[in-house]
Structure 1
């Protein structure tokens, strides 16, 4: 029976370390080959005993002064201990002995980056690309891409990855990375061309199909994206990210049933995530199946209890069903996390108003107005609440303030007219109505929605009729 090779390796390295210690102590006639020194250095490096690794490198170089491999290992150790200039000096010496070792260029790049000399790192690697081919050239291109990332030359990262894939279309690392950088740089058209070429040669590359789909999605060509994702999952039926992105594409196309189907597939293939449950809830919400929407929003909130937005979304499903008290409970949970979030205060104000708690509703709507003083819907909600609660004097003050802040938006002139009518100031009401009709006749519906009874006021009918006739 064949002996365990790992055991043999361990025994070999123990013997080499023993010989090294004897050599250090000057015992016996110990002699070590160049390769043995390399193994000893690697051993001490692996066990993080850098002083002994450096000592082994120095002894090895003393014995083999023309060994570029030992010089490079010493430089690597000096970089690890942040002696960058010393490392650079040794690497220059190693280059004179053997300029064809790729590790020279990778370690020099590390030194230049550590010394914040990105331009030198770029120049070094660009020149080195002319010296190497095959896997070594690919390794240098990855190194150059990392330098460009550090240097924030993001388009050049894409260029490096593109060169790698043109040389090796099935390189998984490049395929994974270029998907991100395509989206980041917006170079979707180039990505489509590149991945179509890859697919022609490698039609069963699920990553190439995925990247093609993602590029189509980046251009909002959702139908084409879905078709490409379908090829990806046909090749790899457990490709959960393809199902995930396909779900997003279906949502963009408002094909909510299809989106639910593929998002449920994601849940089968990977651990539960709040964003997936939330997306399924969103689909049911759009389909007006509010009970199912709540079910999935709740699942999402159990996984992410600190996300106030999920409680707000549950509240909105209750609001759509006019279950105001149930909505209030969810909004209270949301507002324990983000008390002054305008959307939450606006929704809470609406619920309180529908429940007849006008004073509380006014407080919530006032919070929104303070947060968003130029927002029309905030003022509209506050004034509507004051009017419905019959706080006409306060409604009048707020309507005037809204007109001033929003530069005389016609909706508030209509509201001013309704408030004057409620206060029995008919003349002022009719003057404001005429001004509002002149500014925006289509917003008359806002006045009617605020109080349909105004259409039973004879003078109001006459002003509207007169305006239509003149128009």
Structure 2
């Protein structure tokens, strides 16, 4: 039996797409255009939505709803002035249309005028029959302002209307955490579960909060309830596995990770965690097997390459470690921790130029620790790059003024490049700060340390 136009909910859409293929111009009433445009916007087909808006306004130029769809598309395309022009033109047509104020709020939000956006949404809230959506939008604006208390209130109002809005629930817990109110979050979720006892999302969030508080037994209980509520809830098995790892219950953790592999497509994360468990259990062949499976599943998972790196560092197989740290750096070359490992490995292999490069990258990436500067300078001294070592120490002074470790090195370097006056000046500064550190000169510049003039200055302060 064929469905009529009124019986078939997809009739308008099929008719519109058929029209596009034939280039015929067919008539649609404004509500049909609204259905078509909404469908395309929901499915992310913006180009088709724009075509539908254009044709719709050609047939119904005064339709406020169609004009508002054009505003929505303009906002999406960041054409904010065009959106504002339309909003100004229709403002007086339907002053009780909450969508006008919602779109005004969207424009203000795009301009980072979040307080004005909130004003518009509060007007919309008085006009709307769908308060949950407006509360949700208000919460987002408060989140942009990092006003977590007000965001929290609006998210609660949203959940009071629709307790299955899990996006609001996640954001609410996010607010509690940013306010350091974990106990209050747990209390809220407890009341929520009284009404929704089989809500796996709520149990999962309770587990994460108890995990954060290091109350691992309660966390495990919460994850078990999440799994009882939904035996296919992969997130609960993963989080339960992580807690079991912390409790050194590695075999049980592996079992939970294995369940996730059976429930859905295997993930590199699960393979990686299984590998870590086997490594902690001392089963090295299985640890490497699962690390391999992790990188096979996701070659861009830098954490898996780092596990290989750490494994071979512990085994003192530094050439293999170097291979794997290079793999990790190819994926994330701005990770300071990786460059520190790279430096350590190259030092162990006596690849001093590469080790120095690693420290230089650490400094370029903003790691201004004293140890980084000093280690780099010492490597440059060994490599005979005295001027570069001096520059490194002067840069260190900007972040770590009046450190004897720096002044002794500057003194020795000036002596090394035959600028004795500057060397004596910095040597005197160094011994005034801490004469005991003069051992630095004897270790890095033994020939300079043997000079009578140098020994005299150091001895003068050591004997005080």
TM over 0.5: yes
Whole-angstrom distance in 2 between the partners of 1:52 and 1:171: 35
Please give the residue correspondences for 1:270-285 in structure 2 after superposition, counting only pairs within 5 Å.
270-285=264-279
- The runs of 5 or more residues in structure 2 that have no matched partner are 41-47, 75-81, 364-368, 383-403, 410-429, 447-464
Aligned to 2:93: 93
SS in 1 for 2:94: helix
- Partner Cα separation in structure 2 for residue 12 and residue 271 of structure 1: 35
Q: Structure 1: which 5+ residue stretches go unaligned? A: 24-31, 62-69, 353-359, 387-399, 421-471
Given the alignment, which residue of 196, 204, 211 partners 1:210? 204
Equivalent-residue separation in structure 2 for 1:401 and 1:8 (angstroms)? 77
Q: How far does residue 238 in structure 1 lie from its aligned partner after superposition?
A: 0.9
Question: Which SS does the other structure have where 1:204 is aligned?
Answer: coil
Give the superposition deviation at 1:199.
Answer: 0.8
Q: 1:74 aligns with which of 67, 79, 85?
A: 67
Structure 1 position 51 matched with structure 2 position 54: yes
2:125 is aligned with 1:129: yes
Picking from 261, 269, 282, the partner of 2:255 is 261
Cα deviation for residue 296 of structure 1 reads: 1.8
Question: Are 1:210 and 1:242, in contact at CA under 8 Å, matched by a contact in 2?
Answer: yes
Task: Decide which of 280, 284, 287 is 1:290's aligned counterpart.
Answer: 284
User: Deviation at 1:294?
Assistant: 1.7
Cα pair 2:312 2:320 within 8 Å, conserved: no
Query: Cα RMSD (Å) of the superposition?
Result: 4.8
Farther-moved stretch of structure 1 (291-300 vs 70-79):
70-79
In structure 2, the partner of 1:346 is 344
1:243-284 CA distances to partner (integer Å, 9 max, x unpaired)?
Answer: 112222223334333322222222222333323222222222
1:426 corresponds in structure 2 to: none
**What TM-score results when the alignment is normalised by the length of structure 1?**
0.62
Name the larger-Rg structure.
1
**Structure 2 counterpart of 1:456:** none
Q: CA 1:240/1:181 → structure 2, altered by over 3 Å: closer, same or farther?
A: farther
The separation in 1 between residues aligned to 2:132 and 2:230, in whole angstroms, is: 27
CA drift of 1:309 comes to 5.2
Match for residue 326 of structure 2 among 322, 335, 338 = 335
What residue number does 1:240 align with? Answer: 234
Q: Does structure 2 conserve the Cα–Cα contact (< 8 Å) formed by 1:148 and 1:157?
A: yes
The number of equivalent residue pairs is 371
Per-residue deviation, 1:206: 1.0
| Alignment partner, residue 3 of structure 1 | 3
The structural deviation recorded for 1:236 is: 0.6
Q: Would the aligned equivalents of 2:13 and 2:36 in 1 still touch at CA under 8 Å?
A: no
Shift of 1:195: 0.7
Quote the residue 1:139 is aligned against.
133
Deviation of 1:201 (Å): 1.5
